[in-house]
Chains A and B, each alone.
Chain A
Amino acid sequence: MMDALVTARNVAKSYCQQTALDDISVEVPRAHITGLIGPDGAGKSSFMKIILGLTGADGGSLEFLPREGPAVSVCFDTAGGRTDQRAYVRRHVGYMSEVFSLYSDLSVEENLLFSFRIHKGSDYRSRAEWLYAFNRLEGFANTRAGALSGGMKQKLALSCALMHDPELLVLDEPTTGVDPLSRREFWSILKELKNMGVTIMVSTPYMEEALGCDRIVLMHKARVLESGTPFDLLDRFPGLLLEIPVREGAPQLLRRAVSDLFPHFPVYLSGRNVRVMLPGDGERERACSTLSKNISQSLKPVTVLPGLEDLFLVRVHEGGGQ
C-alpha cells in the first residue's frame, strides 16, 4: 500500500451549480512529487484549495498522516475536523501560487520574516541562513522583492513557502513567466527537497515539467481521468501515433484537412507537423492510403512515440474535448 501523506476520498465541490470536483479520490505519496495536470477549469486549483483548507468541500473526506503527531481527519459531510486541518496546514504546509504573492516593496529579508511570523516557525536566523544558501539567494537580503528578476522572485516565493520547514509543499503553476534556465534550477531544487523528505504537489500546464514528477494525476471536467507514474501513463497510451510533416503551405490547413478525413480520431498540431492518433497498428496502412488519396501523395507520415503532451491531448479528446 502507498505511504500517503494526504488521502482524499470522494471529494465533491460545486460553485453555483457548476461542478468543480466530482467524486475525487487521490493519494499524495510522502516524499514524492505529485503533478496535477489537466485543461484550464479541470478542477486542479479547487482541489489544491480544499487541501489547503482555504475552502471546504460539499462532501467526501481528507486525511493527513503527519510524520509526527496524530492523524488529521476532515469529514466534509459533517464539517468535522476543519479546525484541526487549519492548524495542521498553518504549521506544516507551504503554499506558493502562480502570482508569487510577494510584497514587492519589502526586501527579501522582510518577506522571509513576514512569512516566518505568520506560520509561527521556530529559530528564524538559522532557517533563513539555510534558505539563502539552499536557494542561492545570498547577497540579496536587502534587495527590494519588486526589483528581482522573474527567476529570483520565484526562488524567493519558494523560500517564503519553506520558511516554517513544512512537510507538504503545494505549488500552483509555479513556473509561469520564468525562463528555461531558471526553470531548470527550480526543478532541481524541488528534487532536492523531495530527497530531504518533503512531499510536493504541483500543477503545471507544461508537460515537459510534468515528466519530472514521480506521479501524475490527470484531471478533466472535474474528474480524475488517470493517475500513475509518467511511464505508466505513457505505457497505457491507447493507440498508434502518426506524424505528418508539413512540407509546404500553412500547417493549420493540413490539420483541418486531416481532421475532416478522420473526424473521430484526435488530430492536432505538434510544432509545424500534424499528428493523428489511430486506434491501433492495423489502421496504419489504411490511414496512409486515405491520406495519400485524399490530400497528397507527397505526404510522408511516420510513426512516432507519444510524449505526455500527446497523452494529455488524446485523453482530453476521449473525455469529450475542452
Chain B
Amino acid sequence: MIRIEHLVRKFGSFTAVDDISFSVGKGEVFGFLGANGAGKTTTIRMMCGLLRPTAGDIFIDGLSVKSDPEKVKRHIGYMSQKFSLYADLTPEMNIGFFGAVYGVSRKKIAESKEQARRDLGAFAFSRPSGELPLGYKQRLGLSCALLHSPPVIFLDEPTSGVDPGGRREFWEEIYNISSKGTTVLITTHFMDEAEYCDRIGIMSFGRLICLDAPSVIKREYGADTLQQSFIRAIEKDMAKAGAAEVKE
C-alpha cells in the first residue's frame, strides 16, 4: 500500500533522508520511530506530497508522489496531536469543514456528525472543540482525518500527552481501522506504544537502521523492552557515525 524506493531528500548540502526503502502492507499498523531530527517528519511530508523528493519515489496505493502529488493527497488521511482540529469551532463545524475540504458527500458528513454526537454527548458536541478533554479531541481528530475514507492514514504523535486509559481507547480504534483494511503509519516517542504495532522502523541520521516486528527487534538487541532496544540501536548507530567522522 505504501512503497518507498531509494528515497533521498537534501536541503542544501544537508541530507535529511538518505536513500531509504521499505514497504507497508494493506491493513498493517506500522510504527515509524527515531530521535528528533532523524528524518521522520521529512519522510512523512514527502509521503503526503507536501515536499518533493530529491531522488527516489514513494507510491501510495500505486500512485507516485513525484508525478501525482495532488491525487496522492486524496488517498491519505493525516492527523497530528499538534494540529488536527480548529479549536474555536464545535465538533459539528469541524466535521463539516473537513468534509467539505475533502469533497465528502453530505450523507457521509451527516452520518459522521451523528456518530460524533453519540460518542461525545450532546453537550460536548455543541462546545468549542478546544475545550474538549484531550482523549475526545484525539478521537474527533481521527474521525475528521478518516472522513474521505482514505486507504492510508498517517498519525503523527497522535497520543502525545494522553493518559494510559485514553491511549488504550485510541489503540482499539486504530485496530478497528486497520481491521477494515486501512493502512496505518504512526509516529511516537513512547516505546511502550510501539509495542502495539505490527512492525516498526527506526530512523537515525536520515537512514533506516532497523525494520521488523517489535518482538524480533527486542530479541536482536537482547532487550526486555523496546525502549532499551531503541536506545541501543541509536547509540550503536551514533558510535558508528562518530567512528566514520574520525576516519575522515
On A, residues with C-beta under 8 Å from B are: 38-41, 98, 149-151, 173, 176-184, 205-208, 250-253, 255, 268-272, 309, 312-313, 316, 321-322
Instruction: Report yes or no: A41 in contact with B35, Cβ–Cβ below 8 A.
Output: no
Instruction: List, sorted by A's number, 20 A–B pairs whose CB atoms are closer than 8 Å.
Output: A40-B166, A41-B133, A98-B161, A173-B161, A177-B160, A177-B161, A178-B36, A180-B227, A180-B231, A182-B36, A184-B231, A205-B167, A252-B175, A252-B179, A253-B179, A269-B172, A270-B195, A271-B192, A316-B165, A321-B165
Per-position 1/0 for B2-38, Cβ under 8 A of A: 0000000000000000000000000000000011110
Q: How far is the CB of A137 from chain B (nearest CB, A)?
A: 15
| Contact (Cβ within 8 A) A309 B164 | yes
Distance in angstroms between the alpha carbons of A313 and B172 in the assembled complex: 15
Cross-chain contact B135 with A309 (CB below 8 angstroms) = no
Rounded to whole angstroms, the CA-CA distance of A55 and B86 in the bound complex is: 28
Looking across the interface, which residue of chain B has its beta carbon closest to that of A322?
A: B165
Told that A178-B36, A179-B35 touch, could you supply 16 new A-B pairs with CB distance under 8 A? A40-B162, A40-B163, A40-B166, A176-B160, A177-B82, A177-B157, A180-B35, A180-B191, A181-B35, A181-B231, A205-B163, A206-B190, A270-B195, A272-B196, A322-B165, A322-B166
- Asked if residues B172 and A252 are in contact (CB atoms below 8 Å), the reply is yes
Residues of A with C-beta under 8 A to B52: none
Tell me if B75 is interfacial: C-beta within 8 Å of chain A.
Answer: no
Partner of B175, one of A40, A151, A180, A250: A250
Interface of B is mostly: helix
When distances are taken between beta carbons in the complex, the residues of chain A under 8 Å from B196 are: 251, 269, 271-272
Cross-chain contact A39 with B163 (CB below 8 angstroms): yes
Contacting residue for B36 out of A150, A173, A208, A322, CB 8 A = A150
Are B163 and A38 in contact, CB atoms less than 8 angstroms apart?
yes
Q: What chain A residues lie within 8 Å of B166 (beta carbons)? A: 39-40, 322
User: Which B residues touch A270, using CB under 8 A?
Assistant: 195
| B interface bracket (residues with beta carbon within 8 Å of A) | 35 or more
Q: B164 touching A205 by the CB < 8 A rule?
A: yes
Whether A272 pairs with B36 at a CB distance below 8 angstroms is: no
Interfacial chain B residues near A40, Cβ < 8 Å: 133-135, 162-163, 166
Inter-chain contacts of A181 with B (CB < 8 A): 35, 231, 234
Q: Cβ of B214: which chain A residues have Cβ within 8 Å of it?
A: 271
| Contact flag A39-B165 (CB < 8 Å), given A180-B189, A309-B192 | yes
Assess whether A271 is in contact with B189, with CB atoms less than 8 Å apart: no
B37 touches A149 (CB 8 A): yes
Q: Report if B171 contacts A (CB, 8 A).
A: yes
Instruction: Name B173's closest neighbour in chain A (CB-CB).
Output: A252
Q: Which residues of A contact B178 (CB under 8 A)?
A: 250
Chain A residues with CB below 8 A from B167, complex form:
205
Find the A residue at minimum CB distance from B191: A180
- Interface assignment of B176: CB less than 8 Å from any CB of chain A: yes
Kindly list chain A residues whose C-beta atoms are within 8 Å of the C-beta of B134: 40
CB-nearest residue of chain B to A312 = B164
For the complex formed, measure the closest distance between the CB of A244 and the CB atoms of chain B, giving whole angstroms.
Answer: 15
A186 to chain B, nearest CB (A): 12
Q: Across chains A and B, which 7 residue pairs bring their CB atoms closest together, nearest first?
A: A271-B195, A252-B175, A252-B172, A176-B161, A179-B35, A205-B163, A179-B36
Residues of chain A contacted by B227 (CB below 8 angstroms): 180, 208
Check A250/B195 contact, CB under 8 A, given A205-B164, A316-B165: no
Query: Does A179 contact B189, Cβ atoms closer than 8 Å?
Result: yes
Q: How far is the CB of B3 from chain A (nearest CB, A)?
A: 24
Residue B98 interfacial (CB < 8 Å): no
- CB of B154 within 8 Å of the partner chain: no
Instruction: Contact check, A251 vs B190: say whether CB atoms are below 8 A apart.
Output: no
Residue in A closest to B82 when the chains form the complex, CB atoms? A177
Interface centre among B36, B133, B165, B231 (most CB of A within 10 A): B36
Contact A250 B191 (CB under 8 A): no
Output the least CB separation between B127 and chain A (Å). 13
- B125 at interface, CB cutoff 8 A: no
Complex Cα distance A271/B29, Å?
12
- Of the listed residues B164, B195, B234, the one surrounded by the most CB atoms of chain A closer than 10 A to its CB is B164
In the complex the two chains form, what is the Cα distance from A206 to B161 in whole Å? 8
Closest to A311 in B: B164
Residues of A contacting B161 in the complex (Cβ-Cβ under 8 angstroms): 98, 173, 176-177, 205
- A250 near B36 with CB under 8 A, answer no
A residues less than 8 Å from B165 (CB atoms): 39, 312-313, 316, 321-322
The answer to whether A205 touches B162, judged by C-beta atoms less than 8 angstroms apart, is yes
Bound Cα distance from A176 to B124, whole angstroms? 25
B234 / chain A contacts, CB cutoff of 8 Å:
181
Contacting A at CB under 8 A, from B143-195, are 157, 160-168, 171-172, 175-176, 178-179, 189-192, 195
* B78 proximal to A (CB < 8 A): no
A208 to B224: give the CA distance in the assembly, Å.
13
Q: Which residue of A lies closest to B166 (CB)?
A: A40
Q: How far is the CB of B207 from chain A (nearest CB, A)?
A: 16
Q: Bound state CA distance, A274 and B77, in angstroms?
A: 29
